[in-house]
Amino acid sequence: MEFFKESSQTVCAELKTNTDGLTAAEVEKRLLQYGKNGLAEEKKKGIFQVFFEQFKDLLIAILIVAGIISMISGEIESTLVIFAVIILNAVLGTVQHFKAEKSLESLKQLSAPSAKVMRDGVKTEVHSEDLVPGDILILEAGDLITADARIIENYSLKVNESSLTGESEAVEKTNEVISGDKIPLGDRKNMVFSGSLVTYGRAEAVITATGMETELGKIAGLMNRTAQRKTPLQISLDRFSQKLAIIIIGICLVVFGLSLYRQMPVLDALLFAVALAVAAIPEALSSIVTIVLAMGTQKMARENAVMKDLKSVESLGCVSVICSDKTGTLTQNKMTVMEMYAGGDVFTREKLDLNNAAHYMLLKEAILVNDATETIGDPTETALVQMASYFGVDAASYRLQHPRVAELAFDSDRKLMSTLHEIDGENILCTKGALDVLLPRITKIMTQNGIVQADENEKQKIIDINRKFSEKGLRVLCFAIRPFGKCMEVQQKDETEYIFVGLISMMDPPREEAKKAVADAKLGGITTIMITGDHKITAAAIAEQLGIMEPGDMAIEGTELDEMSDQELSEKLPLIRVYARVSPEHKIRIVNMWQQKGKIVSMTGDGVNDAPALKQADIGVAMGITGTEVAKDAASMILTDDNFATIVKAVVNGRGVYENIKNAIQFLLSGNAAGILCVLFTALAGLAMPFMPVHLLFINLLTDSLPAIAIGMEPARKGLLQRPPRDAKESILNQRTLIRIGWQGLLIGIFTMVGYFVGLQTDTAKASTMAFAVLTLARLFHGFNCRGEESLVNLRLKTNPYSIGAFLLGVLLLACVLFIPILKGLFMVAALSSVQCLWIFGLAFFPTLLIQIQKMLCTKK
């Protein structure tokens, strides 16, 4: 005791003298403040800084230049519309930024607001922020530990460290001196850690670390060093934007040069270049993608998967590896009685026979040698009480009928717990513990027909049953009794000459739906990996039950992982299905190794120890019910039902969302390609502009947006799960998609120019109006083509009523522009005759007719 007090005083002295004159309390406050605010971001950006950052995009810069040129040219309407579009995009981007996660602000929420300490020999309750190294913590059952501390006085202390280590079983603590940074947290029996919960007993402990120096703080540091990763769609769209911007600038310069070469006035040449830039830039693309993602998240939320980051939705579609935590994710995070052995029989809880003397005695002893209730206490003892409750036995009432006369508390050295009770007028010593300790002390065995001598054959049978239980990953407790006469005190020497009652095995069982979810994931080409802080044998047994491990697969522990080089791990990675007894650093390494192999990785978990890996993964998935706030903040997706199967549903939805985004982009770009080709053709032919910039902005922002959003509402097609995950490196605009965009854009462009020439027979104003109307209506019809790869005969028109609504609303908007006098002047359109209106409808419909015929022919092939 004195040694620890001297050590703690030394720690305090060093802390006070080695931190630039700050007191220990001031240092602690700085650490805590850093933990609350410093990790997320040292300097938070202001709203104006974020707003102006939205203008860094090269496409936005081109639009700004186009707006300035329109202003110089006197095109006031076009100028106002262009700058309105730019500002709207900046506002949307700013709002999205301030919705981003602040992943570490809830770390402090894990600490209790106060803690009990001994100061100047007096027990005092202080705020957790005022704790300093050297304080003596007083720990009791139910306390949330607020600092790392070394135990100096121990009274059967048990601590649940599942939020840090991933193990569901409470850890028995000792005041034996154990040291070494490389020792796993679960093996540091003389230490308690911040964020853990005292489930049994009491203790005194000297604080060794607080704030960011605790194990919890180190995990926070790991999260700070883990950068957010861009999603495959973000990467693909970023590359596309860069390439498109370069192409637009090049073509605009060529058109401008050609116009000057043909001795066109400079302002007219600039207007041609502006029209081309506006036609080429898909102004609504970012907004449409955001809207489609938002609608996808709403659908997923209804199915218990809440996406925190919109951009992560599409990443689900190419997830190829799910690294799943075991405790609370694949399992139920509670100990449950599985199989028992008594009276010569192996049986499950449901088969326990109260008429069998050995069975009945096993149930009684499970209640009496126990300090828990159904909800409070050591998870192992709680499981025994819940087993009794299954038979309608109230543990508290039964204990009152047979009060505890004396006891020997559980001791990790003895591996036994004994309690003395009066049962049927006789004092009986009831003992539970490890079989290897109890078996040599057993002389008799209880059977249904009475008590018999325990010969070597009977003992070997018990050993064989225990081994079978252990091979299944079950934790086994042995129960025995001893008639105790009139004596009212129990000593350790009395723990002998027992009558064997039975064995009870238990485990944290798999979730019922998890096995099917793992099989579904495998069907979709997704590999499931179990990462846990639990023991390898237990983890491997669970993995086999769930179908995660198959013959030839491997299970390794964290110590084995430490001994592997990156090259060795990379070679064995495809075979390793279970990682046991791992630390947060191990989890990050495993996720990172899969990512280095080009895989999109999802990591699931619920504890603080999972948070760094959740952030490192492409898709971090936290449990909404049992998950800690830190895990939820670090994750991209939260499961509100804690159901592993929900992840598979989310993957299907993610694949569907990606298909819809891809189709929406195809729709927008093929329509823009038609506009570009028309502007290019007239520029090269020396003709008047087919569109004013305000025409193209009307098409891109209004009539195009409606069908694109409707495409985003397309229901997921059957068979998405049966497809392999898409390659994350594959561009969303692959060769096949680009050919389709070019061909469809050319087709729409040809019929648009036919309309232009029909109008040109009257004058250039009529030609521009005809071209504008044909292009707008053709792109509205084209929305039906881009709903999917199949024809409307297979897709069925009514399966997506939003597409019909978008088409009708787009036609109404076009009619308003063409026929309402005020809008006619604003959009600079000429009056049309009924014959010209028929021309517009026929020319606009014909490209869709040809595309549908092509799709039907391809389907037949």
Mean pLDDT of 540-556: 91
**Domain extents for the chain?**
2-39+106-223, 295-304+657-861, 312-332+511-642, 336-507
Chain segment 258-268, per-residue pLDDT in tens? 777 777 777 66
CATH for 295-304+657-861 is 1.20.1110.10
Q: What is the pLDDT of residue 429?
A: 94
Checking if the pLDDT of 465 tops 50, the result is yes
Checking if the pLDDT of 859 tops 80, the result is no
Q: What is the pLDDT of residue 592?
A: 92
Cα atoms in the 13 Å half-sphere on the side-chain side of 329: 35
- Strands 576-580 vs 442-447: parallel, antiparallel or unpaired: unpaired
Catalytic annotation present for 325? yes
Question: Does 312-332+511-642 carry CATH code 3.40.50.1000?
Answer: yes
Higher per-residue confidence, 10 vs 499: 499
Checking if the pLDDT of 596 tops 80, the result is yes
Chain segment 689-704, per-residue pLDDT in tens? 888 777 877 887 677 7
Chain segment 157-173, per-residue pLDDT in tens? 888 776 666 565 677 88
* pLDDT band per the 50, 70, 90 thresholds, residue 27: very low
Whole-angstrom CA distances from 661 to 267, 286, 329, 698, 855 are 38, 11, 31, 21, 20
Checking if the pLDDT of 55 tops 90, the result is no
Whole-angstrom CA distances from 261 to 248, 255, 273, 486, 692 are 20, 10, 14, 118, 22
Mean pLDDT of 312-328: 82
Higher per-residue confidence, 419 vs 286: 419
Three-class SS state of 345: strand
| Least confident stretch, 20-34, 586-600, 713-727, 843-857 | 20-34
Catalytic residue, candidates 143, 148, 325, 610: 325
Checking if the pLDDT of 485 tops 60, the result is yes
* pLDDT band per the 50, 70, 90 thresholds, residue 372: confident
Mean pLDDT of 539-550: 90
* pLDDT band per the 50, 70, 90 thresholds, residue 539: confident
Query: Can you spell out the DSSP letters for 653-702?
Result: HHHHHHHHHHHHHHHHHHHHHHHHHHHHHHHHHTPPPS--HHHHHHIIII
Q: What is the pLDDT of residue 59?
A: 59
* pLDDT band per the 50, 70, 90 thresholds, residue 4: very low
Chain segment 79-109, per-residue pLDDT in tens? 776 677 677 667 766 665 555 334 334 333 4
Checking if the pLDDT of 368 tops 60, the result is yes
Checking if the pLDDT of 443 tops 90, the result is yes
Rounded-to-integer distance, Cα 221 and Cα 218, Å: 5
Average pLDDT value over all residues in the chain: 80
Q: What is the pLDDT of residue 768?
A: 92
Q: 604: part of which helix (H) or strand (E)?
A: strand 600-605
Q: What is the pLDDT of residue 439?
A: 94
Quote the tokens at residue 175.
């005041």
Q: Which of 253, 259, 272 is nearest to 689 (CA)?
A: 272
Higher per-residue confidence, 373 vs 829: 829
What percent of the chain is modeled with pLDDT above 70?
80
Question: Does 336-507 carry CATH code 3.40.1110.10?
Answer: yes
- What are the residues whose beta carbons fall under 8 Å from the beta carbon of 335, sequence distance 6 or more? 168, 169, 379, 380, 382, 383, 475, 506, 507, 508
The strand pairing partners of 476, in sequence order, are 505
Mean pLDDT of 602-610: 78
The strand pairing partners of 585, in sequence order, are none
Q: What is the pLDDT of residue 131?
A: 86
Chain segment 384-423, per-residue pLDDT in tens? 999 988 888 888 889 989 988 888 888 767 889 999 998 8
* pLDDT band per the 50, 70, 90 thresholds, residue 190: confident
Please give the CATH architecture assigned to the domain spanning 2-39+106-223: Distorted Sandwich (2.70)
Q: What is the pLDDT of residue 12?
A: 35
Checking if the pLDDT of 2 tops 60, the result is no
- Strands 191-192 vs 171-172: parallel, antiparallel or unpaired: unpaired
8 Å CB contact between 623 and 607: no
